[in-house]
């Protein structure tokens, strides 16, 4: 094996570790809030005596974090296209770690009154602002660093990190909810938020070791870095933005309905133990940690569209069976539903989108395009869907069929968006021409890995 190839593989392992660990720790922070909103904040951060209203307010603060994510995507996306991928990922890591740690110090409504939810909202906004570019940046870093014929596999690592973070947060609350109620609501729920400060330090050390990607270095060397990535994005890549936003609807919306609304539903409506929801999410996340890279690797062989379409179709068809299983009121039913819904339906989309979304945009606006398209959709689906699910279920006396219809509708939107896209898995990511340019055929010469780049066709 040549020294160059050894160095490339060693570098790719470092990038994979940086995106995996960094993404895991950042999304551990983010999912902590979602679980706490379902189990804790509705109890101690808002006035007592109105359970439905308190739950609605708690999920509203969850939604606010999603609403601000597109603004973070715009700001950090442009920054990533101007100064590089690595620097922005370090900044977002610090922002989310700072906000999450302080959430663990917010006093209760009983202690400070209305200031409790106000502080919670401010910190959630800061957390969401930093998260706006986290997944996009990690996905791009992986995609631009990976060998072309394994791009789907390596670009799934940020998705694996998401599930590691989800598993850690769910497992943490599964353990904490076993404590006596007065201890759990008194101080124990704060432990994971405060502990995240140490975890962020670990991720920061790893991320500082990686190098900038070849695609961005090529932009810098040729002086092709965009002075206004957002303007160039809107001018040349509108169709790509719509495709990414539509493709994200089911992945984000369905996932958050399952992972947040269902946790509150089985406790408040089915009167199951508080530990069942986090346990089911933890099992589903553990399964998805393995299925996500499997779907990413599969997309390297059969293409991004085929795998993503499978995820959208599965999520649409499984929406009603999901809630039939949940409404059995049994632990096995909830775990089975969550495992299939998240570990198969959502994971197949998340495992593919790192590469797919990166390939949709040219390198000079890639960070801005991926982050903005993804986060606009996340705000509209992942942020609002759990809130809508609470409202729909409350309006129908605790029925879940309207929520199943919501999940099915979001899946159909994604199905239409992905079906309208062209296949992208053979693209050269070092290009920075916009998608309106002529098709550039790189020929039929294989690279050192034997991969064929002849289908070099951009969306447009």
Domain boundaries, the chain: 10-208+227-419
Cα→Cα distances 90→145, 151, 202, 232, 318, Å: 17, 23, 12, 25, 38
Distance separating alpha carbons of residues 423 and 345, to the nearest angstrom: 20
Distance separating alpha carbons of residues 138 and 9, to the nearest angstrom: 18
CA angle at 389 for the pair 384 and 393, rounded to the nearest 5°: 155
According to the model, what pLDDT value does residue 439 have? 35
According to the model, what pLDDT value does residue 434 have? 53
Who contacts 66 (Cβ-Cβ below 8 Å, separation ≥6)? 128, 378, 379, 382, 383, 384
181 in the Ramachandran plot: left (φ > 0), alpha (ψ -120 to 50) or beta? alpha
According to the model, what pLDDT value does residue 43 have? 77
Contact call for residues 45 and 116 (beta carbons, < 8 A): yes
According to the model, what pLDDT value does residue 274 have? 83
Distance separating alpha carbons of residues 158 and 142, to the nearest angstrom: 8
CATH placement of domain 10-208+227-419? 1.20.1250.20
SS3 458: coil
Cα→Cα distances 286→113, 308, 346, Å: 39, 21, 13
| Number of CB atoms found within 10 A of residue 62's CB | 23
Beta bridge partners of 446: 452
SS3 423: coil
Distance separating alpha carbons of residues 251 and 311, to the nearest angstrom: 8
According to the model, what pLDDT value does residue 63 have? 72
Burial class (CB in 10 A: 0-12, 13-18, 19+), 36: buried
**DSSP character string of 428-456:** -TT--S-TTSPP----S-B-TT--B----
Rounded to two decimals, the pTM is 0.81
26 in the Ramachandran plot: left (φ > 0), alpha (ψ -120 to 50) or beta? alpha
pLDDT tens string, the chain, 460 residues long: the values are: 444 454 455 577 778 877 887 778 777 877 787 778 777 877 777 777 666 766 777 777 777 777 888 899 999 999 988 988 888 988 988 888 888 889 889 998 888 888 888 888 889 889 889 888 888 888 998 898 888 889 999 999 999 988 898 888 878 887 888 888 888 888 888 988 888 888 888 888 888 888 778 778 887 777 678 888 889 998 989 999 999 999 999 999 999 899 888 888 898 889 898 888 888 988 998 999 999 999 999 999 999 999 999 999 999 999 999 999 999 999 999 999 999 999 999 999 999 999 999 999 988 899 999 999 998 888 888 778 888 888 888 888 888 999 999 999 999 999 999 999 988 887 877 665 555 443 333 333 333 333 333 334 444 4
137 in the Ramachandran plot: left (φ > 0), alpha (ψ -120 to 50) or beta? alpha
According to the model, what pLDDT value does residue 458 have? 42
Who contacts 432 (Cβ-Cβ below 8 Å, separation ≥6)? 215, 218, 219, 222, 224, 362, 363, 364
């Amino acid at each position: 094996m040549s020294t160059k190839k050894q160095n490339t593989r060693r570098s790719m392992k470092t990038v994979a570790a940086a995106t995996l660990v960094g993404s895991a720790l950042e999304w551990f922070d983010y999912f902590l809030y979602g679980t706490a909103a379902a189990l804790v904040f509705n109890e101690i951060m808002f006035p007592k005596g109105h359970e439905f209203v308190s739950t609605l307010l708690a999920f509203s603060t969850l939604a606010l974090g999603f609403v601000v994510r597109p603004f973070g995507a715009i700001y950090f996306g442009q920054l990533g296209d101007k100064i590089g991928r690595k620097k922005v990922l370090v900044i977002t890591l610090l922002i989310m770690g700072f906000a999450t740690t302080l959430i663990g110090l917010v006093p209760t409504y009983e202690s400070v009154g209305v200031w409790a939810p106000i502080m919670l909202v401010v910190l959630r906004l800061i957390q969401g602002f930093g998260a706006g570019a986290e997944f996009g940046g990690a996905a791009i870093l992986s995609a631009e660093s990976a060998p072309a014929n394994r791009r789907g596999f390596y670009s799934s690592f940020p998705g694996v990190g998401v599930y590691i973070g989800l598993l850690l947060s769910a497992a943490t609350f599964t353990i904490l909810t076993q404590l006596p109620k007065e201890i759990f609501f008194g101080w124990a729920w704060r432990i994971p938020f405060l502990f995240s400060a140490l975890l962020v330090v670990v991720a920061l050390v790893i991320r500082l070791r990686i190098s900038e990607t070849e695609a961005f270095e090529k932009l810098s060397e040729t002086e092709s870095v965009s002075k206004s990535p957002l303007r160039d994005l809107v001018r040349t890549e509108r169709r790509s933005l719509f495709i990414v936003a539509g493709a994200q609807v089911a992945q984000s919306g369905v996932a958050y309905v399952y992972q947040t609304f269902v946790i509150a539903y089985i406790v408040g409506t089915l009167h199951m133990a508080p530990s069942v929801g986090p346990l089911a999410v933890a099992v589903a996340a553990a399964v998805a940690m393995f299925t996500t890279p499997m779907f990413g690797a599969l997309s390297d062989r059969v293409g991004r569209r085929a795998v993503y379409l499978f995820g959208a179709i599965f999520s649409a068809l499984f929406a009603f069976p999901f809630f039939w299983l949940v409404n059995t009121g049994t632990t096995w039913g909830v775990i089975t539903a969550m495992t299939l819904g998240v570990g198969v339906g959502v994971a197949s989309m998340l495992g593919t989108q790192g590469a797919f979304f990166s390939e949709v945009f040219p390198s000079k606006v890639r960070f801005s395009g991926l982050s903005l398209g993804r986060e606009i959709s996340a705000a509209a689906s992942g942020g609002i869907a759990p809130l809508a699910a609470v409202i729909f279920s409350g309006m129908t006396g605790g029925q879940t069929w309207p929520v199943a219809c919501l999940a099915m509708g979001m899946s159909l939107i994604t199905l239409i968006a992905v079906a309208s896209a062209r296949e992208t898995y053979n693209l050269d990511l070092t290009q920075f021409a916009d998608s309106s340019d002529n098709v550039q055929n790189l020929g039929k010469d294989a690279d050192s890995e034997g991969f064929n780049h002849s289908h070099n066709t951009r969306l447009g």
